[in-house]
Structure 1
């Protein structure tokens, strides 16, 4: 694999490479260039040269490239999904859905481009006024490894259709699918230099994207402390930032909830992608009137989840993506055992009772009786471990749900209209689901409150994140 700069596939300036491994087997899939600051600067130069011609095209013409790329992505879905599973670890069914999701995003911004964006007024005493939306220029996109295709789509879709050029850094453990998608966009007619992909570590490639004064906006998805560093690095140039910094999403199950549907909501909401989703269910609050039955049924269901290589038939949950994540999750569970501060009612270990030598597997885990100040409740646990707490009523559930530095997503499960109204008004979260969790269609703005970040991706508002107003006053 090589980097894409100005429409050319290149090695890094250093000539060094790193390996991309399959987290289910430990096998090396491919080598990728170990990019650095000079590679980013070359990409920025190419993006700057391409900006004038790309931004001068009509929004509709720019969007056609996205549409043609979406057609090709759908045609190559099987191969792309297999590549995504190999480098990221998720089951092939989830990978197919994610690749289709990338195509959905491109199609959405193609459709959205049909409507012009701007304002016109005839103001007495001032003349005719027009407010135009202008592209920002060169934008940086820093992509995580957990949902690389979807999050790439969220960032480049509105950026490109609005007339910007992009320098993109994929995650070091999952760069291959992003690079392949960029190749497809080039084949669909995206001019050289409009989208550039630089692979390598965050401390060099990512920081140069954040610092480089020619980049006018940075969109970052990742953990909180890294996001804060991105904001500090971007501040001297007063560049715009969008930060999606993860969360510790609560799920509230009221006493009148449909238990069967709520149990299945937990299964998908927590264990999808091995729990490695920013908006996954990470804290579960169940009303005491149904808690015993709910935990019993949920435990039985968790124990049916098939764990294994994502390419194998019937597998519902693959490995964690990287060894650091596995050690973090295993350490949190071991701390529960050592302190005796909770009961592990399902999972709590790697398959076979010990860590595999090669695959980064950990069984879906359910823990009850954990103190509310435990890291399982206070931190973002990026893996298949879920703490369950019993609450005495809806007031307590809301208070606990909001008692967090995070505020990305939340869900409430109830058939009571009054409780639904209270949840949507009182939950401190960027997105609130009712009797569902996790799904985010392209039309819906996505982002968090508090330390879950700033700015919004997705939806028509994302175009505003990649454009700026220019007011024009005309007197004849």
Structure 2
């Protein structure tokens, strides 16, 4: 496959490519251009050239193109979902839901296009002011491999509806879905150069996007460590920066909960996408009065999960996306055993069978009696391992939940609305779910506090991040 610059399929300036493999069996899927700084410069120049015309198109007309693009994506959802499953590893049903989610994001921003108009502001003494909103210019986006379609939508939707143009770098392991989605948008009538996709490693492609002075705004999703480096490098050219840097989301289960719903919520919240989701339930806090029963039901439910190739019928959890993540999870669980930091009550190993030997598979794992200083609860664990901590009450649960550098998502499971209100007020996170976890509709702003990031994506709240605002007094 080739990358997209100025609306055309193109090779890397170097002519080099790299291979994209299926994480379920290691088979070669395709090749992608091994882009570098020169390719980013070409893309930025293309986006800059397209900006003058695209920024003058009315928001309503930009919205019409996004609506049409969403329909193109829905028409091709099965083909796109197959590509996503084969390069990312997730079950086909999850992949199809994600493709539909991308379309929903475009439809949301197309739907609010009529509201993106300048207007008069009444002032004191019969006077008026006005607020002019103008596109920032060329924007950059760097996205990860875990939910590449959804996160691409978070960047593309608001950037384009506000009249900006965009240079986007996919993750090296999942470029095919992003390129296919971009192509569908061009089929819908997106003008040349408005959206450019440059594939390649972060050390060359990503670094140039961060540093290139033509690119005036950057949205990055990734690790805390990389996000800090991005923020420091972007400051040299005074870029506006939005950072979504992951988390270690707590899930609190109270003693008045609907047990079956909470168990299913924990399974979905942790093992959806093989646990490779920023907002996954990564730490489970359960009240001691129901702990034995809850953990017993959870263990039985987890052991029924069908692990396999995402394209196989009935698969509920696919492989991890890459060897580095697989090795990290294996190392963490082995460390818990070696240091006696917890009890592995199910999973904790690679599944047995010929069908698993060439993929990055790891059994869904539960660990109880986790030590407070274990890396399982101190770091972001990006994989199918759920540490369980028993607490005596809500106060202890919230205190333990907040004892982290992260603050992305959180959830409380209770039928007591006073408990829910307390949790919503006291949990240090950008979002708190009540009796659910993970769901993120495009209408709701999303982002974190503390080390989990800067700024918000989704909703009307992200729109001003893509505008230059000018106040007019008259």
2 CA distance for matches of 1:445 and 1:391?
31
Kindly state the Cα deviation for residue 417 of structure 1 after the two structures are TM-superposed.
Answer: 1.5
User: Matched residues in 1 for 2:170 and 2:342: separation?
Assistant: 38
1:292 maps to 292
Following TM superposition, by how much is the alpha carbon of 1:64 offset from its aligned partner in structure 2, in angstroms? 0.9
Indicate the larger mover: 355-364 or 135-144.
355-364
CA contact (8 A) 2:169 2:205 kept: yes
TM-score, normalising length from structure 2?
0.98
- 1:254–1:122 Cα change, 3 Å: closer
Where does residue 79 of structure 1 map in the other structure?
79
1:164 has 2:168 as partner: no
Alignment-derived partner of residue 198 in structure 1? 198
Offset at 1:472? 2.0
CA distance 1:126–1:11, shift in 2 (3 Å): farther
Measured after TM superposition, the shift of residue 357 of structure 1 is: 3.9
Aligned residues: 474
Q: Give yes or no for contact 1:20–1:29 (8 Å, CA) kept in 2.
A: yes
Question: Which of 435-444 and 461-470 deviates more?
Answer: 461-470
Q: Secondary structure of the residue that 1:358 maps to in structure 2?
A: coil
Taking a change above 3 Å as real, the CA distance of residues 127 and 387 of structure 1, as seen in their structure-2 partners, is same
SS in 2 for 1:389: strand
TM-score normalised to structure 1 length: 0.98
Alignment CA distance shift 1:123-1:344 (3 Å): closer
Flag the 1:374–1:354 CA change in 2: closer, same or farther, 3 A.
farther
Where does residue 50 of structure 2 map in the other structure? 50
The separation in 1 between residues aligned to 2:127 and 2:437, in whole angstroms, is: 50
Aligned to 1:69: 69
Deviations 1:319-369 (A, max 9, x none): 000000000000001111112221111100010189954110000000001
> SS of the residue aligned with 2:410?
strand
Q: Who is 1:418 aligned against?
A: 418
Deviation at 1:473, TM superposition (A): 2.6
Does residue 214 (structure 1) correspond to residue 202 (structure 2)? The answer is no
Q: CA deviation at 1:237?
A: 1.1
Equivalent residue number for residue 111 of structure 2 = 111
Runs ≥4 residues deviating over 6 A? none
The separation in 2 between residues aligned to 1:192 and 1:180, in whole angstroms, is 16
Equivalent position of 1:277 in the other structure: 277
SS at match of 2:144: coil
Contact map agreement 2:308 2:356 (CA 8 A) in 1: no
Match of 1:322 in 2: 322
How far did residue 173 of structure 1 move?
Answer: 0.3
- Looking at structure 2, the residues matched to 7 and 294 of structure 1 have their Cα atoms a distance apart, in angstroms, of 53
* 2:456 aligned residue: 456
User: Cα offset for 1:119?
Assistant: 4.1
Distance 1:188 1:79 in 2: 17
Equivalent position of 2:428 in the other structure: 428
Query: Mapping of 1:17-416 within 5 angstroms?
Result: 17-123=17-123, 128-352=128-352, 356-416=356-416
Structure 1 residue matching 2:473: 3-state secondary structure: strand
What residue ranges of structure 1 are gaps of 5+ in the alignment? none
